[in-house]
């Protein structure tokens, strides 16, 4: 019973590609695509931490999300030109940072800083989940770079688990995995779920855009998300194995 415009099953991801090391400048990077959504993720490693954290033996990881003005179907004004960040940008940047911090042992990282930049080059729904999933790959490479360059010790277990994220939603009454833009705008409930490779939840953000939802609907959505994140974790592992 296949009811989606692009022919996918309800629990099927769009085509996912991850180009590891796309950037020659950053310590870690990945160009990730979920269907037509493309996000360039870079991880910048710098020795030292912000002043307020100095001397505690812990590292720091933060993230910034942004969209090119013509990533979307209609051009939007640049936030740099407007002179301020929009609420959506702020919110997603904070989500990416929190999500990846959940997989990092800050004491093992030591007094070093990692900044993840996730820039959406083309947007078709699911940009924040693609960003988190791609940023994890960039993060792993930046930590490897730091180990190779002796900024962190050979034995430090900095990365404690893998992290990926996927969207799920109820569209026309049917729960579905990985919504492109056209499904997303029609969804009654829209949920972004960040999980570890070990199958636990890091973030669950569900919103009733239309009808409020019940515990049962929530359960079905979480099962779909669990399936999708397991698929993503497998792809991350393959990419990182090369």
Point out which residues bind a copy of itself (CB under 8 A).
23-26, 29, 36, 40, 42, 44, 46, 64, 66, 68-73, 75, 78-91, 93-94, 98, 102, 115, 117, 119, 121-123, 161, 191, 195-196, 198, 200-208, 211-215, 218-219, 222
Nearer to a copy of itself, 111 or 117 (CB): 117
89 in a labelled binding site: no
128 in a labelled binding site: yes
Nearer to a copy of itself, 24 or 157 (CB): 24
Coil, strand or helix at 208: strand
Coil, strand or helix at 216: helix
**CB 1 to a copy of itself: min, Å:** 26
CB 8 within 8 A of CB 2: yes
**CB 61 to a copy of itself: min, Å:** 14
126 in a labelled binding site: yes
**CB 59 to a copy of itself: min, Å:** 16
Surface-to-core class of residue 117, CB atoms within 10 Å of its CB (0-12 exposed, 13-18 middle, 19+ buried): buried
Q: What is the distance between the alpha carbons of residues 204 and 134, in angstroms, rounded to a whole number?
A: 19
**CB 57 to a copy of itself: min, Å:** 18
CB 27 within 8 A of CB 152: no
Q: What is the distance between the alpha carbons of residues 127 and 59, in angstroms, rounded to a whole number?
A: 27
Q: Name beta bridge partners: 32.
A: 18, 39
Q: What is the distance between the alpha carbons of residues 74 and 12, in angstroms, rounded to a whole number?
A: 28
70 in a labelled binding site: no
Nearer to a copy of itself, 91 or 153 (CB): 91
Binding residues: 88, 126-128
Query: Which parts are annotated binding residues for phosphate?
Result: 88, 126-128
């Amino acid at each position: 019973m296949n009811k989606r415009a692009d022919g996918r099953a309800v629990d099927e991801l769009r085509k996912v590609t991850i180009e590891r090391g796309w950037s020659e400048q950053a310590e870690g990077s990945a160009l990730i695509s979920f269907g037509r959504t493309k996000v360039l993720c870079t991880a910048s490693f710098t020795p030292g931490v912000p002043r307020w954290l100095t001397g505690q033996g812990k590292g720091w990881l933060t993230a910034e999300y942004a969209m090119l003005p013509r990533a979307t179907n209609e051009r939007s004004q640049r936030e740099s030109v407007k002179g301020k960040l929009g609420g959506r940008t702020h919110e997603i940047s904070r989500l990416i940072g929190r999500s990846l911090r959940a997989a990092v042992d800050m004491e093992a990282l030591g007094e070093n800083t990692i900044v993840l930049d996730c820039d959406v080059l083309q947007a078709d729904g699911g940009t924040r989940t693609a960003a988190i999933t791609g940023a994890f790959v960039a993060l792993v490479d930046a930590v490897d770079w730091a180990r190779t360059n002796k900024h962190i010790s050979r034995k430090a277990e900095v990365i404690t688990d893998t992290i990926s994220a996927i969207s799920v939603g109820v569209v026309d009454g049917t729960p579905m995995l990985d919504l492109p833009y056209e499904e997303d705008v029609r969804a009654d409930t829209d949920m972004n779920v960040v999980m570890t490779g070990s199958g636990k939840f890091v973030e669950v953000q569900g919103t009733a855009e239309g009808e409020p939802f019940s515990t049962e609907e929530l359960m079905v959505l979480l099962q779909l998300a669990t399936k999708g994140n397991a698929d993503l974790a497998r792809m991350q592992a393959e990419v990182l194995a090369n």
